[in-house]
Amino acid sequence: MRGLKDKVALVTGGASGIGAATARRLHEEGALVAISDINIRGAQQIAEEIGDRATAFAYDAMDEQSIVDMVGSTTAHFGRLDILHNNAGALGSDDTTVADTPLEAWDHAMKLNVRAYFVCSKVAIPFMISAGGGVIVNTASSSALGGQLAQTAYGTSKAGIVALTQYIATQYGRQNIRVNSISPGIILTPALLDVAPNLVEVMGPSLLTSYLGTPEDIASTVAFLASDDARYITGQNLCVDGGLFAHAPYVSF
């Protein structure tokens, strides 16, 4: 893909799953990659696998100063920041219906997702502007696009990410910053299989593809949106969901 060679990319939640796959793909496209995660050993393992064009930083998405330090460390190490992939997040096992979800679970989802993405972007944008522009790609979710019987806080927080994406794109587009979000559908990550092992069985029959999504499917989309090939795309939410939301709910297979 055009325009990724020697660009500096910061991937949050990069120790496993979508983040790790994205770090690998951006490296394959020629980028230098900072991999950040609360699981620093996992992030270091991915960086070691990639080689000397990658580095790892520990950070806590729930802590503002940790985010500031992560972005600062990335720019200090590589000299600039061109691409931010806001990806860290998690499903909560106690995040169920509106009546039954504890307020603590609601607050945790909002802080981990919407607030952390906001802070990462807030800190990164001035560095991008000083470098002449940049790209932000936010990981949202298909849970943001329609109600479900559980995961109320998670889905609502991911919907907030879609809205945040549009606001940043609107406010900073004329300063050469593009921002898009991706709404993955069922993606076979360790986190999904650990927290919601029955989700594949329940939702799998609604897919229009003959296979389930992998982290690499999202990574390739991130790489495209970060590249010059997507230079006219901003403020959009791209569903990468195997056609999950493409058909009427009464269609059966």
* Predicted confidence pLDDT, tens digits, the chain (253 residues): 899 999 999 999 999 999 999 999 999 999 999 999 999 999 999 999 999 999 999 999 999 999 999 999 999 999 999 999 999 988 888 999 999 999 999 999 999 999 999 999 999 999 999 999 999 999 999 999 999 888 999 999 999 999 999 999 999 999 999 999 999 998 988 776 676 667 677 777 888 998 889 999 999 999 999 999 999 999 999 999 999 888 877 665 5
Is 2 among the domain residues?
no
**Positions marked active-site:** 154
Domain-embedded: residue 249? no
DSSP string, 46-57: HHHHH-TTEEEE
Does residue 252 sit within a domain?
Answer: no
Residue 246 belongs to a domain: no
Residue type for position 99: A
Q: Is residue 251 part of a domain?
A: no
Domain that holds residue 190: 8-240
Domain count, the chain: 1
Residue 87 near residue 10, CB atoms below 8 Å = no
Question: Which residue has 């806590």 as its token pair?
Answer: 60
- 245 inside domain: no
In a domain, 125, yes or no: yes
The CATH number given to whatever domain includes residue 162 is 3.40.50.720
Residue 248 within a domain: no
